[in-house]
Amino acid sequence: MELTQALREVVGATHVLDDPELTAPYERDWTGRFGARARLVVRPADTAQVAAVMRCCAAAGAPVVPQGGNTGLVGASVPREGDEVVLSLRRLSAIGEVDPALGLVAAGAGATLGAVQAVARAAGLDAGLDFAARDSCTIGGVVACDAGGARALRHGTARAHVAGLEAVLADGTVISRMSGLAKDNAGYDLPALLVGSEGTLGIVTRVLWKLVPRLDRRVTALVPLASVADATVLLAALRAHAPSLESCDFFLDDGLSLVLAYQRRASPLERRAPVYVVAECAGRDDPTDELAEALGQAGVEDALIADDTASRERLWALREGHTEAIGAAGVPHKLDVGVPLAALAGFLEEIPRALASAVPDVPDARAFLFGHLGDGNVHVNLLGPAIEDERADDAVLELVLSCGGTISAEHGVGVAKARWLARARGAGEVAAMRALKQALDPAGLLNPGAVLPA
């Protein structure tokens, strides 16, 4: 009760939740695989309140799980032991005015990506980052896991857009680097260290977001292909002949069938194929000719082209609809991995065999595979194995490492893959990570169990 009362004095009684019906939405992640009862849910309104909350929790020795939109897929934003305080950042949603000369905007950690996109568009600019969870994921979470999405091919992941940030450390200390100076090498770059740290080193409360030019002339192609090898040929042609290329994603035919059934729509294509690529070009001038040239160079004779917003959105819905369609079919094991492009075809072919070998007692186990072709980022979604059964996950991650890939491309490590970190990074690098954690969070209060295994 002492901690509860202390937190109520900081944020107000209505923003400290202990009623199970009120805390439930904060206690389980989007996949449904991860979560536990929270000791409390606290909802501060600004950086000063976040700092005060952390001082209270530090004094009480209470572990804290920072949470944004709770759209994470690796269990990093929900309680797991039942004694954590969930620190929700959703009230930190203010977005400042765009600086048109520098192309910067300050956004609270609780502002959604969609809200930042809207502010950028109103100023004639663009956020430069986009994915399906845009209207529910928050900028703080996006930065904390260094999210990417389809447009990272051209504009980079979240890291490329962080011109500065404000954060609260485990003891309540506030660090702020919000000047937006392009050249500032005075000492260690602490903001860069916090990007991708998943709330284990500090709590991001405000971000200075770097915008990109707004490119309104867009054209999208949906291309059915016979193989992943053909998809890599197409990617090479797009890179060589379409400098306006912004995104290039892929999915497979079983995934398309699932999405079409879930969305209750017919395929827009006259013929089905094993592999599909959806590519989008964007420029100040019409990029249609560039795209057509690239398709011709790749020998593509059958493609669906969309050059207006509604048509493009319908094509992208076939790719972006995978996550929701898979979630409706069961509780998925979601593995966001990356493999070298040269190994992609073999990796995708091997996944079904690895799955069958790992869980022979789960005959209905299925893998749905899709992702970002341009950077080798594959979203592996496994249906069938029980929530606690990690045999299939282990088989996939083993295969990833054998291909020279990474266990996490854009969703983070969280708790789902923490025990694989040493295999992926090596003992020396993990030891350095632990030293950083010990220096910034000696009591281990920030997101315990995430990223670094206990």
pLDDT at 447: 97
Q: Does residue 316 belong to any structural domain of this protein?
A: yes
Q: pLDDT class for 87, splitting at 50, 70, 90?
A: very high
Final residue before a domain boundary, out of 283, 303, 323: 323
pLDDT of 181-240, one tens digit each? 999 999 999 999 999 999 999 999 999 999 999 999 999 999 999 999 999 999 999 999
pLDDT at 252: 98
Q: Does residue 56 belong to any structural domain of this protein?
A: yes
pLDDT at 233: 96
Q: Does residue 453 belong to any structural domain of this protein?
A: no
Q: pLDDT class for 350, splitting at 50, 70, 90?
A: very high
Closest CA to 198 of 54, 107, 65, 83: 65
Percent of the chain with pLDDT over 70: 100
Q: Residues 287, 334: one domain?
A: no
Q: Residues 75, 27: one domain?
A: yes
- Provide the 10 A C-beta neighbour count for residue 404: 11
Q: Residues 361, 426: one domain?
A: yes
CATH of the domain at 178: 3.30.465.10
Q: Does residue 449 belong to any structural domain of this protein?
A: no
Q: Does residue 347 belong to any structural domain of this protein?
A: yes
Q: Does residue 23 belong to any structural domain of this protein?
A: yes
CATH of the domain at 415: 3.30.70.2740
pLDDT of 165-186, one tens digit each? 999 999 999 999 999 999 999 9
Residue 1 has pLDDT above 80, yes or no: no
Q: Residues 122, 142: one domain?
A: yes
Final residue before a domain boundary, out of 213, 236, 265: 213
CATH of the domain at 29: 3.30.43.10
- Gap between the terminal Cα atoms of the chain: 28
Q: Residues 181, 234: one domain?
A: no
CB hemisphere CA count around 255 (13 angstroms) = 26
Final residue before a domain boundary, out of 259, 294, 323: 323
Residue 454 has pLDDT above 80, yes or no: no
Give all strands (DSSP E) within 318-361, no chain letters. Answer: 333-338
pLDDT at 132: 87
Its domain, for residue 127, covers 104-213
pLDDT of 15-42, one tens digit each? 999 999 999 999 999 888 899 999 999 9
The order of strands in the sheet holding 366-372 is 304-306, 217-225, 275-283, 245-252, 366-372, 377-383, 333-338
Q: Residues 380, 310: one domain?
A: no
The Cα–Cα gap between 347 and 333 comes to: 18
CATH of the domain at 246: 3.30.70.2190
The Cα–Cα gap between 43 and 70 comes to: 14
pLDDT at 385: 96
Q: Residues 309, 288: one domain?
A: yes
Q: Does residue 362 belong to any structural domain of this protein?
A: yes
Q: Residues 311, 338: one domain?
A: no
pLDDT of 297-328, one tens digit each? 999 989 999 999 999 999 999 999 999 999 99
pLDDT at 453: 86
Q: Residues 108, 184: one domain?
A: yes
pLDDT at 32: 84
- Provide the 10 A C-beta neighbour count for residue 232: 19
Residue that wins the pLDDT comparison between 131 and 109:
109
Give all strands (DSSP E) within 13-153, no chain letters. Answer: 16-17, 40-42, 64-67, 85-88, 104-108, 125-126
How far lies 278's CA from each of 41, 171, 306, 316, 376, in Å?
Answer: 41, 46, 11, 7, 14
Q: Residues 182, 225: one domain?
A: no
pLDDT at 70: 95
- What mean pLDDT is predicted for residues 409-434? 95
Q: Residues 356, 416: one domain?
A: yes
The tally of domains found in the chain comes to 4
pLDDT at 31: 83
pLDDT at 208: 98
Give 452's contacts (C-beta < 8 A, 6+ positions apart).
Answer: 200, 418, 421, 430, 433, 434, 437
- The pair of structure tokens assigned to 450 is 């995430």
Q: Residues 23, 78: one domain?
A: yes
Q: Does residue 402 belong to any structural domain of this protein?
A: yes
The Cα–Cα gap between 264 and 70 comes to: 28
What average pLDDT is seen over the chain?
96
Residue 68 has pLDDT above 80, yes or no: yes
The Cα–Cα gap between 96 and 361 comes to: 55
